[in-house]
Amino acid sequence: GENVEQHPSTLSVQEGDSAVIKCTYSDSASNYFPWYKQELGKGPQLIIDIRSNVGEKKDQRIAVTLNKTAKHFSLHITETQPEDSAVYFCAAPVGYSTLTFGKGTMLLVSP
Amino acid sequence: DGGITQSPKYLFRKEGQNVTLSCEQNLNHDAMYWYRQDPGQGLRLIYYSQIVNDFQKGDIAEGYSVSREKKESFPLTVTSAQKNPTAFYLCASSFGTGTEAFFGQGTRLTVV
């Protein structure tokens, strides 16, 4: 099955700095890589996803890059704001039915 | 509004009791999922269902049971066989693999 490793487990940055979270996956057949943001006491919400036919995707201050050869993908947040503070999860498909999630990164943005 | 609803938000259970967590969606999604979240463990899959009247075990199914009698509903029962049931439980739904999964707001279960 799919194995997803996520680093770092915690990340502290100053407001305005950039933040990068990295994930690696094991199944070379995987072709869909979402990122979720979870605020305290709430369910995760999709913030961006990428498919294997592209190498990078941007949405305002958020971008995701994918390197299929190395089997890793990364989340980039620029100009971080205190409201970006949350837990972020990457995920990759398991076969044709479910997603495997990384263990999460707690991002803390200090004013 | 379309969405996925979990209830209750907080649930307390005495040891030895079964409890059922509700999950309802009106997004017309075929697939539904139950995850368990513990601190530092990420999201671990308990059960999933890709179609009505069919479901499969995930990575940590022992001590749990589900049913999928209606497309909109996927209740999870935490049985007395689950030795460490205190956790945050998340339900999700999607059109299938490769599509966005929508999560409910979660149910926090505490054994007292």
Lowest mean pLDDT among A74-83, A96-105, B6-15: A96-105
DSSP state of B89: E
Say how far apart CA B111 and CA B85 lie, in whole Å. Answer: 7
SS3 string, A4-52, reads: EEEECCEEEEECCCCEEEEEEECCCCCCEEEEEEECCCCCCEEEEEEEC
- Cβ contact (<8 Å) for B31 and A34? no
Q: Is the dihedral of CA B78, B79, B82, B83 positive or negative?
A: positive
In Å, how far from its chain's centre is CA A69? 18
Closest CA to A84 of A22, A17, A7: A17
Q: Give the whole-number percent of chain A exceeding pLDDT 70.
A: 98
Of A43, A95, A100, nearest to B103 by CB-CB distance is A43
Residue B40 confidence (pLDDT) above 90: no
Q: What is the pLDDT of residues B50-75, one digit of tens each?
A: 999 999 999 999 999 999 999 999 99
Contact B78, B63 (CB under 8 A): yes
Confidence of residue B1 (pLDDT cuts 50, 70, 90): low
pLDDT at A29: 84
Residue B2 confidence (pLDDT) above 90: no
pLDDT at A36: 98
Identify the burial level of B105 via C-beta atoms within 10 angstroms of its C-beta, where 0-12 means exposed, 13-18 middle and 19 or more buried.
middle
Q: What is the mean pLDDT of residues A86-108?
A: 91
CA distances from B67 to A41, B61, B91, B98 (A): 26, 13, 13, 24
Q: What is the pLDDT of residues A32-58, one digit of tens each?
A: 999 999 999 899 999 999 988 779 999
Residue of A87, A88, A99 to mutate when probing chain B, most B C-beta within 10 A: A99
> What integer best gives the mean pLDDT of chain B?
94
> What integer best gives the mean pLDDT of chain A?
93
Rg (CA), chain B: 13
Residue A97 confidence (pLDDT) above 90: no
Say how far apart CA B96 and CA B10 lie, in whole Å. Answer: 29
Residue of B99, B103, B105, B108 to mutate when probing chain A, most A C-beta within 10 A: B103
DSSP state of B62: T
Say how far apart CA B33 and CA B46 lie, in whole Å. Answer: 8
- Cβ contact (<8 Å) for A96 and B97? yes
Please count the residue pairs, one from chain A and one from chain B, whose beta carbons lie less than 8 angstroms apart.
57
Q: What is the mean pLDDT of residues A46-71?
A: 93
- Cβ contact (<8 Å) for B97 and A42? no
